[in-house]
Amino acid sequence: MTKFSVAQRFGLTRVPADERYRAGLAAFAARDAEKAIQELRAALELLPKHAEYHAALGFLLLNDKRQREASESFERALGLNPYEMLASYGLGIIDYRSKRWLDALRRFTVAHAAQPNRAETMYYLAMACHRLGRNEEAAGWMERAASEFHHAGDRRESQCQAWQREFQRLLAGK
């Protein structure tokens, strides 16, 4: 069993932990992966039961191609909060890259329930459906993803539009 300090039990480490968390995100934005990971780990030492920190660490590790460690962080996050969107999304990415389409679809569905307007999740829901041969469903998800990317002014909208054309072609050839 983990022992917590008095400061941790009373939440007095929250501000320093948040500072380390923000420093980690800033390091990630500056493309300094090792410093970002160090800062997130330092935040977790101060606040070890904070699911968001575990999920963010998992995301950083996944971006650093450390899939096993990322998966462990995502699982810890979900153990603390089963609705932690980034953890479900991250495990979905791992499943998708490993061609476990049904597992990926399940993970992305949970992530979507936690944050329904996230375009990236809708994009991967579409792609997982496509890989499972569910192109009609994929087309619907991709249309929603394109709309969200459009509203955000995100250039990934054009990638969604290319997939929409592909799904239309596939559905026309049924």
Q: pLDDT tens, 139-171?
A: 999 999 999 999 999 999 999 999 999 999 999
Residue 155, pLDDT score: 95
Residue of 79, 78, 96 lying closest to 87 (CA atoms): 78
Cβ count near 157 (within 10 Å): 17
Whether residues 123 and 90 fall in one domain: no
Residue whose tokens read 């192109």: 135
Q: Would 156 be classed as within a structural domain?
A: yes
Domain span including residue 22: 13-99
Whether residues 80 and 148 fall in one domain: no
The alpha-carbon radius of gyration of the chain (Å, integer) is 18
Q: Would 77 be classed as within a structural domain?
A: yes
pTM confidence score: 0.87
* CB-based contact 170:135 (threshold 8 Å): yes
Half-sphere exposure of 98 (CA within 13 A, CB side): 14
Whether residues 71 and 139 fall in one domain: no
Q: Would 4 be classed as within a structural domain?
A: no
Residue 15, pLDDT score: 81
- DSSP per residue, 86-120: HHHHHHHHHHHHTT-HHHHHHHHHHHHHHSTT-HH
Residues 120-131 have pLDDT tens digits of 999 999 999 999
Q: Would 55 be classed as within a structural domain?
A: yes
Q: Would 107 be classed as within a structural domain?
A: no
